[in-house]
Amino acid sequence: MTRRCRVVPAAAAATLLALGPAAAAAANPQGTGAEERSGSGRAADYRLYFGDLHNHTAFSDGATGSTPDDAFDHARASGADWLSTSDHNFMLRQTEWATTKQMAADRTDAGFVAMAGSEYWIASGFGEVIVNNVDELYNKANWRPHGQHLSVHEVPPNFYDWLASHPGLYGDQDDFRHHTPFRDRAMSSIEIHNYGSYLGAPASWGVHDYEPSYVTALDEGWHVLPAAVSDTHAANWISGSPVRTVLLAERLTRPALVDAMRASRGYAVLDDNLRVQFELDGHVMGATLLAGDSTYVAHVRAVDPDGTAADAITRVEVLSDGGEPVASRAFDGTRDDSAVDTRFTLRSTTARYFYVRITTASDVSGGEGVTAWTAPVWTGR
């Protein structure tokens, strides 16, 4: 299939995922959102579902001759629970977009969830956005007419408002400013690791994660979970990279996964099967507590079923506002440490959130490094 053009990747930047708000959000756009984010679920209430949000096919600039059907089938065969395609919107024909959505519906069943998305080019150089569950391929909030310049004061706020009623994954949009409670209701996650960028980066860059962007988004008030994505343009969906976004959901259905994303309930991992649970005062990641406490108990459980020395957990950290570590525990890094269960007592009268970072003996580079980041639990402040 001959495509109309080829994308030249810009400098790597963290991206955000937004989800359509609940009905109450549309009725009360100035609400705080706390009533929808204060879920008291425990880790035992949810199962872990491994997948990837960022994938391309030949419907844009992916592997020659490939289709979303191929991506969904390959991901399922490679052990994924779910997958979202994200072909570039300006390369998609309307017929291809309709086909993508139909293929996603046809490939979804009790054992696998397929999602259709498209990666938008945003006006005036604000990056690209992966938008899910939206019929339009073009919109005045994200597409600039030829020769027309739109300013920073127009594009990001308009785009946030447009996406507040549509799921989507999108760029840092002016350093994560323009937060409002209404827009926050639509937010779900932020890319903390892009494997495609890592593969294409100079060796001196190392793993090249985007944790500082994650922290910036949290500090700006966005309730988001971290995502690790492949951004694959090859016919190796899921099988070609070890990175996963893991969603905590009650069951494997599209509504349940969307609910997990809406609640920012999940974690990013650079390992295809590392299982992580993080609770604060018994509340699962993504929850918002009632304000007022100054002492908290963080409970972290992590296990790698492979149980090899390379999978050994060497450090578990709890971080808070500004990405500052507030508690840490080192482990010997032996094979027995591929499963850990540990607790921390945390004291603070100012912290707005806590999240967990896990280091293992072997990250994607093959050496010791950070392998997982969880969504935060918010203190309610």
Digit-by-digit pLDDT tens for the chain (381 residues) are 333 332 223 333 445 554 443 433 333 333 344 433 445 577 788 999 999 999 999 999 999 999 999 999 999 999 999 999 999 887 888 899 999 999 999 999 999 999 998 887 765 455 666 777 667 776 555 555 555 555 555 566 666 666 664 444 334 444 565 667 777 776 778 889 999 888 877 777 777 788 998 998 899 888 888 999 999 999 999 999 999 999 999 999 999 998 898 888 999 999 999 999 999 999 999 999 987 889 999 999 999 999 888 899 999 999 999 999 999 999 987 767 788 999 999 999 999 999 999 999 998 888 899 999 999 999 988
What's CA 196's distance to the chain center, in Å? 15
pLDDT of residue 148: 53
SS (H, E, C) the chain: CCCCCCCCCCCCCCEEEECCCCHHHHHCCCCCCHHHHCCCCCHHHCEEEEEECCECCCCCCCCCCCCHHHHHHHHHHCCCCEEECCEEHHHCCHHHHHHHHHHHHHCCECCEEEECEEEEECHHHCCEEEEECCCCCCCCCCCCCCCCCCCCCCHHHHHHHHHCCCCEEEECCCCCCCCCHHHHHCEEEEEEEEHHHHHHCCHHHCCCCCHHHHHHHHHCCCCCEEEEECCECCCCCCCCCCCEEEEEECCCCHHHHHHHHHCCCEEEECCCCCEEEEEECCEECCCECCCCCCEEEEEEEEECCCCCHHHCEEEEEEEEHHHEEEEEEECCCCHHHHEEEEEEEEECCCCCEEEEEEEECCCCCCCCEEEEEECCEECCC
Q: How far apart, in whole angstroms, are the C-alpha atoms of residue 374 and residue 359?
A: 12
pLDDT of residue 26: 36
pLDDT computed for residue 159 by the predictor: 64
pLDDT of 11: 31
Cα 271 versus chain centre, distance: 15
Domain 13-20+44-270, CATH class in plain words = alpha beta
Same fold, 13-20+44-270 and 274-381: no
User: Of 165, 81, 169, which Cα lies nearest the Cα of 119?
Assistant: 169
Amino acid present at 217: A
Q: Where do the domains of the chain lie? A: 13-20+44-270, 274-381
What was the pLDDT predicted at 157? Answer: 66
Domain 274-381 sits in CATH at 2.60.40.10
